[in-house]
Homo-oligomer: A and B are copies of this chain.
């Protein structure tokens, strides 16, 4: 059970996305064919992806949407809530705080931090902004596991240091700055430009070649193509 291809995990969260859309449309059962079509994945691959973790379907019927969602959430670890410390109460921080997708997957912003005295004490979406100095203490005592860095690039490393001191295991860096963290902390850079660059290649070469493997774009099929029917 060690040899789960990395791609499987990536696709699992894509399936989850699609399944939630299906659920919202009132669909109760999906076949690997339908789920595959929505996710841009070959039906056989959908089935095999699940077999790494068990046998969730019914032969001749398909997969129960609700049950499958629960299985995937358990596999990914999003079946139980996770607390987030958001560092930065500027435009980006405010945008992240209002992002509804987080809540839907059990992610809670437990505390917001900033350096700016003008922002400290104010509220963002019924959450008080705390002084960044108190981050390690608050994060540790609230057992927060995830930190999101949404500060100006120049302060990114400082924010990371405080998060590490606060004991978080996952850091999402929304800054173009290169930051470093000790072993054991998972750093995840989310650079929107990287995605643009990737897309760009397929744009300029669309004319002189066939579509890439499996006829999906550079996105890699993340996100659900069609959920309703």
A residues near B, CB below 8 A? 1-2, 6, 9-10, 12-14, 16-17, 21, 75-78, 82, 90-92, 94-96, 98-102, 104-105, 107, 145-146, 150, 153, 169-170, 172-173, 176, 178, 180, 186-204, 209-210, 212-213, 217-220, 222-227
Set of chain B residues within 8 Å of A218, measured between Cβ atoms: 6, 9, 186, 188
- Which single residue of chain B is at the shortest CB-CB distance from A88? B95
Contacts of A198 in B (CB 8 A): 9-10, 13, 76
> Taking the full assembly, how many copies of this chain does it contain?
2
Nearest CB of chain B from residue A13's CB, rounded to whole Å: 4
User: Does A219 lie within 8 Å of B188, measured CB to CB?
Assistant: yes
How many angstroms between the C-alpha atoms of A6 and B223 in the bound complex?
A: 18
Contacts A13-B198, A99-B176, A176-B100; A107 near B193 (Cβ below 8 A): yes
Name the B residues within 8 Å of A76 (CB-CB): 197-198, 200-201
CB distance A9 to B201 under 8 Å? yes
A4 CB to closest chain B CB (Å) equals: 8
Whether B222 pairs with A191 at a CB distance below 8 angstroms is: yes
CB-CB < 8 A to A1: which residues of B?
Answer: 209
B153/A100 in contact, CB under 8 A: yes
6 contacts between A and B (CB under 8 A): A9-B202, A82-B200, A99-B176, A101-B193, A186-B199, A187-B219
Are B223 and A105 within 8 A (Cβ)? no
Instruction: Report yes or no: A193 in contact with B102, Cβ–Cβ below 8 A.
Output: yes
Residues A209 and B2 in contact in the complex (CB < 8 Å), given A100-B153, A107-B193, A218-B9: yes
The answer on a CB contact under 8 Å between B90 and A95 is yes
Interface centre among A96, A98, A196 (most CB of B within 10 A): A196
Other A-B pairs beyond A6-B218, A170-B196, 7, CB < 8 Å: A1-B209, A6-B213, A77-B201, A91-B91, A146-B196, A180-B226, A186-B219
